[in-house]
Amino acid sequence: MGQPDRTLRSRRTAIAAAVVGLCLAGLAIAAWQPWHAGSVEDPAAVSSGRALAQACAVCHALERGAPPRVGPPLWGVVGRPVGSVDGFGYSHTLATAEGSWTPERLDHFLANPAAALPGNAMTFVGMADADDRARVIAFLRTLSD
Ligand code: HEC
């Protein structure tokens, strides 16, 4: 065996290791992603999210077509532009906020509403537990046509 052969073999080994590594990383991300993005496919998350969302239902209607209460209705909120429900009197903060409610943005907002969007009018302390937020967001994702 000459030197070039060994180099080739070790290069092949390195490539194979890299491929395996990438596959494992892909699997890890695939396993992690749905849950943390608030997966609708996880029925256990959705059902505990529904129970946790009773804390939101004090102020927010959750049913399709329901009118605003203290807060704007949450039907279709995932993907909806921030501060966009017609006829709801948003604070200046929400009325002028840009973008839409992605699961990630909801997660950030619900962790600490006052800090996430200073000046907003939602008098809710927030949900400290990241898993609870993921469950609520999984449930909110089911509130759509
Ligand atoms: C004490 C009443 C109250 C509770 C409890 C409450 N909210 Fe709110 N929420 C509001 C109000 C009022 C607003 C409007 C805030 C503004 O205009 O600044 C709001 C706004 C929101 C918005 C922005 C909606 C939009 O159309 O841009 C989201 C999302 C939201 N709440 C989610 C939740 C979730 C999820 C929960 C439960 C974990 C919850 N809220 C609990 C009162 C509440």
CA-closest residue to ligand 1 atom 34:
56
What's the gap in Å between 11 CA and the centre of ligand 1? 56
What lines the ligand 1 site, CB under 6 Å? 55-56, 58-60, 70-72, 74, 77, 82-85, 90-91, 93-94, 101, 106, 110, 120-124, 127, 136
Strand partners, 81: 100
Strand partners, 40: none
pLDDT band at 100 (very low <50, low <70, confident <90, very high): very high
pTM as predicted: 0.80
Q: Give the dihedral sign, CA 96/100/101/107.
A: negative
Question: What's the rounded Cα separation, in Å, for the pair 81 and 98?
Answer: 8
In the chain, what are the domains? 37-142 (1.10.760.10)
Q: What is the DSSP letter of 66?
A: P
Look at residues 62, 30, 42, 65 and name the one whose alpha carbon lies nearest to residue 140.
Answer: 62
CB 83 within 8 A of CB 119: no
pLDDT digits (tens, 9 = 90+) for 31-73: 555 445 556 679 999 999 999 999 999 999 999 999 999 999 9
What's the gap in Å between 35 CA and the centre of ligand 1? 22
